[in-house]
Amino acid sequence: MEGQMTYVHYTREYEDKQRPQFKRRVAFIAHMLLPGYFSTTIIEWMLALMGTSREEFFSRPFFIKWLSFPVIPPVGSDGEPVWVDFYLIPVLATDFMPKVRDGIAYQWCEAVALHAIAEAERDGVELWIGWGAGTKNATKHGADFLEHHPHLRSSDSVYTTHGDSGTVSLATAALGQAAVPNGLCGAIIGANGAIGDALARFVPQQFQPRKWVLVGRSDKPGENDRRVRLDVLRQQVETWLAMCGQQVNVLVHQDKSTACLEHNTQLVVVATTAGDMELLPNEVQPGALVVDLTTPSACSPNRDWSCRTVITAGCGQFTDLSVLPYGFGKIGDQPVTNVGAAVLEAGGDRVIWGCTAETIVNAVFGHREHIAGPKVDVMADVPRTIQGLRVLRIQPQPPVSCGRMLRWEDLRGPGATPRTYTSFLSVNGVHAQA
């Protein structure tokens, strides 16, 4: 039956010895990205070790436990050790996304989650489920999964999240490391999406731009739904900033090809998808910093970005080896320290997706609720996630620009001081307990 899944697992010796000792567990669920991504390379490497391949998937749908590893919080942090299982539906994004529309992708996602829940119940452990990449689309950011399984809402052992607060938090931290100055003109492309909506609210409160442009897709002929949504968001952002005592000129625009040039934006945050929303170099003024959060990238590295700096952001790097004592586990006898979260192998060791990082934070610090639906709570969830990332010493991924590894110092102006997690939490009295 189409959509039915079979569980495939490659055994890891260290997992068999240690995993049962952990009373909290993360099940993070995603799919493959695109050919050429480093994560795709090592997923296919693992499939080969298992004697199968992604080409076989549609004849006998299955999922794998791709990565399996512990996260140990620092002593005195009030966190608990967590075992992380990273589950993969071995389907490329180009094949997964069409299956979102007909509901088959939801069935795939549901099968993985129900397996993880059954296993956690068998072992008597608490479970935090996280949704990644297109599984958010397939489950409507987890809302459909809860609707199909309403008893989970009152569960005292299973919790879920779409993880978008992790991406928002790490993207904001990347801007802080780049020492983006106050008073510039900025734009958020994809402002009507879940992550774009949250960044539209949170970034100007942290960096105080002079002008902030909310860019979304144009409406179809005879419709104005998208424009209305942008206008509502603009009003909400203005209200939010007024509460913080800030005056920012907030504008809306529905043509990304002219928005940044028309408003002379020096900072462009891209939180959309490729395709019709691909950002082209000639749509951004020279000297601009472009922060790309999209997968696949909306800023193709195959184009000439001369005189403009494009960096990949939205993922996090474990900077304390004791927090990630075994890396991301093993595939065969080979330790895995880089899962290609920054797209390329050169993207840095111990880098994990932002949505995975938030799921880990929730589990380590016992945040027991369901976070679902295409909205991010910037008043509570983002500060709480930032606090958890700070305690676990997860920093924004190293900056990668069109395949080149940069240093944060390369992006900063003379005398610029980077912002830290602590400074984010202190802005206008924003505090949150992990």
The answer to whether residue 182 sits within a structural domain is: no
Residue 25 vs residues 13, 85, 149, 225: alpha-carbon distances, Å: 18, 8, 20, 41
The CA distance from 229 to 226, in Å, is 5
The answer to whether residue 390 sits within a structural domain is: no
The answer to whether residue 355 sits within a structural domain is: yes
How is residue 428 written in tokens? 């206008």
428: buried, middle or exposed (CB in 10 Å: 19+, 13-18, 0-12)?
A: exposed
Give me the domain span that covers residue 154. 6-165+317-364
Phi, psi (deg, nearest 5) at residue 128? -115, 120
The least confident of 199-203, 371-375, 429-433 is 429-433
How is residue 132 written in tokens? 């990644």
Residue 115 vs residues 5, 87, 122, 147, 311: alpha-carbon distances, Å: 10, 10, 11, 18, 37
The answer to whether residue 321 sits within a structural domain is: yes
407 neighbors 309 (Cβ within 8 angstroms): no
Position 432 scores a pLDDT of 41
Q: Which residue has the tokens 């472009």?
A: 290
Question: Which residue type sits at 144?
Answer: D
Cis peptide preceding 325, ω within 30 of 0: no
Report residue 431's pLDDT band, with 50, 70 and 90 as the boundaries: very low
The CA distance from 174 to 315, in Å, is 9
Task: Check whether 429 has a pLDDT greater than 60.
Answer: no
The answer to whether residue 413 sits within a structural domain is: no
How is residue 238 written in tokens? 């203005």
Cβ contacts of 72 within 8 Å, gap of 6 or more: 81, 322, 323, 324, 325
Position 231 scores a pLDDT of 95
Position 356 scores a pLDDT of 96
What integer is the mean pLDDT of 425-429? 68
Report residue 427's pLDDT band, with 50, 70 and 90 as the boundaries: low
* Range with top average pLDDT, 48-62, 257-271, 335-349: 257-271
Task: Check whether 10 has a pLDDT greater than 70.
Answer: no
331 neighbors 371 (Cβ within 8 angstroms): no
How is residue 203 written in tokens? 């970034």
The answer to whether residue 109 sits within a structural domain is: yes
Report residue 189's pLDDT band, with 50, 70 and 90 as the boundaries: very high
- pLDDT tens readout for residues 257-285: 999 999 999 999 999 865 557 899 999 99
Q: How many CB atoms lie within 10 A of CB 394?
A: 32
The CA distance from 321 to 324, in Å, is 5
What integer is the mean pLDDT of 194-210? 92
Task: Check whether 45 has a pLDDT greater than 60.
Answer: yes
Say how many domains are in the chain: 1
The CA distance from 96 to 434, in Å, is 34
Position 1 scores a pLDDT of 42
pLDDT: which is higher, 192 or 72: 72
* Range with top average pLDDT, 121-130, 303-312, 336-345: 121-130
197 neighbors 378 (Cβ within 8 angstroms): no
The least confident of 117-121, 221-225, 243-247, 310-314 is 243-247
- pLDDT tens readout for residues 381-417: 999 999 999 999 999 999 988 778 888 998 998 889 9
How is residue 329 written in tokens? 């586990």
Report residue 247's pLDDT band, with 50, 70 and 90 as the boundaries: confident
Report residue 13's pLDDT band, with 50, 70 and 90 as the boundaries: low
The answer to whether residue 238 sits within a structural domain is: no
HEC secondary structure over the chain: CCCCCEEECCCCHHHHHHHHHCCEEEEEEEECCCCCCHHHHHHHHHHHHCCCCHHHHHHCCEEEEEEEEEECCCCCCCCCCEEEEEEEECCCHHHHHHHHHCCHHHHHHHHHHHHHHHHHHHHCCEEEEEECCCHHHHHCCCHHHHHHCHHHHHCCCEEEECCHHHHHHHHHHHHHHCCCCCCCEEEEECCCCHHHHHHHHHHHHHHCCCEEEEECCCCCCCCCHHHHHHHHHHHHHHHHHHHCCCCCEEEEECCHHHHHHHCCCCEEEECCCCHHHCCCHHHCCCCCEEEECCCCCCCCCCCCCCCCEEEECCEEEECCCCCCCCCCCEECCEECCCCCCCCCHHHCCCEEEHHHHHHHHHHHCCCCCCECCCCCCCCCHHHHHHHHHHHHCEEECCCEECCEECCHHHHCCCCCCCCCHHHHHHHHHCCCCC
Percent of the chain topping pLDDT 70:
92
Report residue 430's pLDDT band, with 50, 70 and 90 as the boundaries: low
How is residue 185 written in tokens? 């003109």
Question: Which residue type sits at 268?
Answer: V
Task: Check whether 434 has a pLDDT greater than 60.
Answer: no
Task: Check whether 346 has a pLDDT greater than 80.
Answer: no
- pLDDT tens readout for residues 67-121: 999 999 999 999 999 999 999 999 998 899 999 999 999 999 999 999 999 999 9
The answer to whether residue 61 sits within a structural domain is: yes
What integer is the mean pLDDT of 146-160? 97
